Structure 1
Amino acid sequence: MSDNISGKVVVITGASSGLGESTARHLSSLGARVVLGARRKDKLDALVADLVSAGGEAVAYQTDVTSQTEVNALIQGALKTFGRIDVLVNNAGLMANAPLSEGRVDEWDRMIDINIKGLLYGIAAALPVFQEQNSGHFINIGSVAGMKVFSPGGTVYSGTKFAVRAISEGLRHEVGGSIRTTTIEPGAVDSELKFGSSHQQTSDFVVDFYKQAIPAASVARAIAFAIEQPADVDINEIVLRPTVQDF
């Protein structure tokens, strides 16, 4: 077990599949106590059962990150169960790509609500806890699409991930000292994210693009690397891609 992960309380949003599930499994195997949030409670409950049967400590709360009330309840649930929070992994995300000319404003709203506002709700709920403890670690899941625009089709998604990077950097600057901030920016990683596009032509392109994807466990290991550093070391940004990905 990693000395700097074992025993830590880690809250993960979007934990029912993909990056969130893989991160929960990996950190639990390293001795972390995990608190899982996602909309699909049945998947969360099955994951908790797996982790507990393997000797881990895990609880789950049905959480839609577009609801500030539910995000607050996730954080309060973690405190009630374990008495503290050491890490919040803001992982929930949606990639509903389509050309701007399609005018899919409802999908733009949904991405903004999940990718930006959901992240901010997590920060709003956990920051007072971290400040009171005088310790804590935000891990925000961005994207290589938050470093350069994935267009055509991914313009609004890129906009939300550029926002994640900006918010993370501002957060680091504002609360740094005893609170750490890490942005993880993956390229193509195998998860359900690739199925978010309702525009058929774009969806076909994205699914084909993701044939080069690396396993979600790749991101879980990057998250563990950031967490396990000594308290005075803040890994601010990790970018990882499949070696064959050129974007």
Structure 2
Amino acid sequence: MNYLENKTAIVTGASSGIGKAAAKALAENGVKIVAAARNQERLDALVADIRASGGRAAGRVADVTNLAEAQALAAFAKETYGTVDILINNAGLMLFSYWSDLAIDDWNQMIDTNIKGYLNAIAGVLPIMLAQKSGQILNMDSVAGHQVDPAAGIYCATKFFVQAMTESMRKDLGVNYGIRANTISPGVINTGWADKVTDPAGRQAAQELNKIAIDPDDVARAVVYALNQPENVTVNDLIISPTRQNW
């Protein structure tokens, strides 16, 4: 049974990678998509692609690190489709450094995007979901939310935060209000991240690791599975990783 038909979903970070793949997969299952990202051109291309395939989609440029923009995004979704049934918190940032590098700007960027961005998006949709007494919030996590790498301390910490906040949401929003919250924790995904590593040695290592990576479409199928459940079922956490990933 398709429990997703005619639902409305906000997908952040929808212009590329997992967000783009998830938006398209959900649209194929009858979900009305509100795609959010900072790149207007890529958003327009995604919306056009979904519509050309017979789906329903609208795009809105939004920076979720800004609370007002996140709230405006939720209001736009409700005005466009009349409801907000699903939030996929996906916009994220992964930067690598050792503690001795004192990469403070990188630390702050990851905290702003991976923690505050998620919280802002939740703050935007939660009043709507509370009024409806229903909804689903999927916080995209990572295997980095389950184990720690010495060169990714802050990134891992942000993903551990996502694990903790989602479990709290499940126990509060799920139990008391019927608003389901869950996480998906991907392993190495081929989203082009390896080519963005600035340190030459680090980029080479990342590119080597990326050889075993799985595709965003693989994660998108997990997103559909996690969300396409009856109202009395919550998939708490789903770890999706390459078969040959040994951590």
TM above 0.5, yes or no, is: yes
**Could you list the per-position Cα deviations for residues 37-94 of structure 1 after superposition, in whole angstroms to 9, with x for gaps in the alignment?**
0011100001101111111110000011111111111111100000101110000001
After TM superposition, give the deviation of residue 116 of structure 1 in Å. 0.5
Q: Which of residues 156, 159, 164 is equivalent to 1:158?
A: 156
After TM superposition, give the deviation of residue 196 of structure 1 in Å. 4.7
What SS does the corresponding residue of 1:37 show, helix, strand or coil?
strand
CA RMSD of aligned residues (A): 1.2
User: 4+ runs of 1 displaced by more than 6 Å?
Assistant: none
Which sections of structure 1, spanning at least 5 residues, go unmatched? none
Alignment of 1:98-247 (within 5 A): 98-151=97-150, 153-177=151-175, 178-247=178-247
**Could you list the per-position Cα deviations for residues 126-148 of structure 1 after superposition, in whole angstroms to 9, with x for gaps in the alignment?**
11111100000000001001100
What SS does the corresponding residue of 1:176 show, helix, strand or coil?
helix
- How far, CA to CA, are the matches of 2:8 and 2:104 in structure 1? 37
What SS does the corresponding residue of 1:145 show, helix, strand or coil?
helix
Structure 1 letter corresponding to 2:50: L
Structure 1 letter corresponding to 2:27: S
Structure 2 letter corresponding to 1:217: D
After TM superposition, give the deviation of residue 202 of structure 1 in Å. 2.4
What SS does the corresponding residue of 1:66 show, helix, strand or coil?
coil
Alignment of 1:21-100 (within 5 A): 21-100=20-99
Change (3 A) 1:116 1:83: same
- How far, CA to CA, are the matches of 2:196 and 2:162 in structure 1? 19
What SS does the corresponding residue of 1:26 show, helix, strand or coil?
helix
Match for residue 5 of structure 2? Answer: 6
Q: Which moved more, 1:20-29 or 1:184-193?
A: 184-193
Q: Which moved more, 1:186-195 or 1:234-243?
A: 186-195
Which sections of structure 2, spanning at least 5 residues, go unmatched? none
- How far, CA to CA, are the matches of 1:13 and 1:232 in structure 2? 25
Structure 2 letter corresponding to 1:148: Q
- How far, CA to CA, are the matches of 1:246 and 1:76 in structure 2? 43
- How far, CA to CA, are the matches of 1:11 and 1:237 in structure 2? 20
Structure 2 letter corresponding to 1:222: A
Q: Taking every aligned residue pair, what percent have the same amino acid on both sides?
A: 39
Change (3 A) 1:186 1:21: same
- How far, CA to CA, are the matches of 2:98 and 2:201 in structure 1? 10
